[in-house]
Amino acid sequence: MHTSPRVRTLSLLQHCKTSLPTNHITQIHSQLISNDLTQSPTIVARLIQHYCASKAPHATHYAHLVIDQFYRHNNGCNPYPLNVLIRCTPPVDSINIFASRVSKGTPSFDDFTYIFVLGACARRVKALWEGLQVHCRVIKHGCVSNVMLQTTMIHFYVNSNAYAFARKVFDEMPVRTAATWNSLIAGYCSRKEYARDGLMLFVEMLNGKCGVKANDTTVVCVLSAVSRLGTLEMGVSIHGYIEKTVCDVENDVYIGTGLVDMYAKCGLLDSALNVFMRMRHKNVHTWTAMVSGLAVHGRGKQALKFFNDMTDSGISPNSVTFTSLLLACSQAGLVEEGLSLFHNMKNKFGIVPLPHHYGCIVDLLARAGHLDDAFKFIVGEKVESDEVLWRSLLHACRLHNDIVMGERVAKILISMQPELNLEACDRSEDYVALSNMCASAGKWEEVAAVREAIIDKGIETNPAVTNYLQYSYFGFHSSLLLVKIV
């Protein structure tokens, strides 16, 4: 059966894999030009999609050439190829593409164009100004009645921490879907300072006047808000609502994980264990939530047992799992177990330690009084540039009254500071710590030297620090005066 070149080419583009080499895509592009098929919006959009999926350095440039040629001959009358280009490129490029089309006066925008651009603004950090301009164009072009567009707008404002704008858009919507409610509720619940607003919005949703019912996404969000606030009564009520109307907790891994986390953080560890045991399906987040709850409540050995059960069930831990386990070992004083976990984390599970993992080990060793081992660990792991680790060790030196080690660590912290540091006032605590150590050891001359160093470097200190240094300094001279009098 004979088929037209357009049908054959379109079929070829549709069945091409996204990992197709760029030279093959360019060959197909050449065939499109030869058959005069570069004016079809569907074919051009598919070609742009393949170019954007390619990892070649010039593939995106080719996609721009394709769309420029298309709009040069079509006067920007069809927004479909542009929408595909905006959707398939990284957020920064998507915003720039939209801005360039605006500057060129291209009128090829529809609701989906604004949806994709606002989605790019939501994924990009610090894109509030760009999103506000897009919002203005939406109002100007009269697209504000699109529920999907308004929901995307709420999502953008929430991601940009502009909660007042998000709520204003929400309140002005005549029609709202479950996704609309979930966007704002999820945004509120993701921040502790707005978590209570998220719960109040959830209660408003339950009143039934909105005509939309809460789903599993909604209850997972509000459970996270309850975990942040520690409002146990609200959490128990939500649990009852879930059991009655939403789903069976035993079969929903996400809601079950949310309940485990909520009960553990609200102090009802037995209830968390009860939900955990009832769940038929568990993922790494479920196990991590349970291990984290055990760690917070000081049940280090039980947390390690759950970790072994987790690996025996075939589920691999992640970075957060090890953070909870190391915290549990630190609070329970399980030094050998913690060091073994850190070793297995790198060698057995292939997880690269993050700064807070090193901090957990330093805290583990320091709590047990192994200050020398903590010092050797920082040096041996080649993380000497991390000031937080040194300050953690310095705090442990104060608790264990190890003047020699504390003075050594304090001098390391001071040596890490640049000679001219505009933010040195925030690091004056290192000088105060060294002064503390020297004063505790009766080294008054070094106390005076620390004060002179602060003056020479022009470091600003808060009044409490200044008063302490003055007390130490004059106390030093008073001691000398007493010696002379005697």
DSSP line for 409-423? HHHHHHHTS-SS-TT
**Last-in-domain residue among 281, 307, 334:** 281
User: For the chain, percent helix, then strand, then coil, each to nearest 5?
Assistant: 75, 0, 25
pLDDT at 452: 63
259 falls within a domain: yes
Angle at 235 between CA 210 and CA 229, to 5 degrees: 100
- Tell how many helices (H) and how many strands (E) occur in the chain: 27, 0
460 falls within a domain: yes
pLDDT at 332: 87
pLDDT at 48: 83
Q: Could you tell me the CA-to-CA distances from 155 to 70, 119, 186, 370 in Å, in that order?
A: 32, 8, 9, 49
110 falls within a domain: no
96 falls within a domain: no
226 falls within a domain: yes
Report the domain count for the chain: 2
10 falls within a domain: no
pLDDT at 473: 40
Find the domain containing 201 and state its range.
176-281
pLDDT at 467: 46
pLDDT at 345: 92
pLDDT at 29: 76
- Whether the CB-CB separation of 6 and 35 falls below 8 Å is answered with yes
Name residues of the chain where pLDDT drops below 70: 1-22, 37, 75-76, 106-107, 417-486
204 falls within a domain: yes
- Could you tell me which of 113, 201, 121, 134 has the C-alpha nearest to residue 161? 121
236 falls within a domain: yes
Q: Coil, helix or strand for 17?
A: coil
**Last-in-domain residue among 254, 281, 308:** 281
**Last-in-domain residue among 281, 301, 318:** 281
pLDDT at 88: 87
User: Where do runs of H (alpha helix) occur along 35-103?
Assistant: 41-53, 59-74, 80-88, 91-103
- pTM across the whole model: 0.77
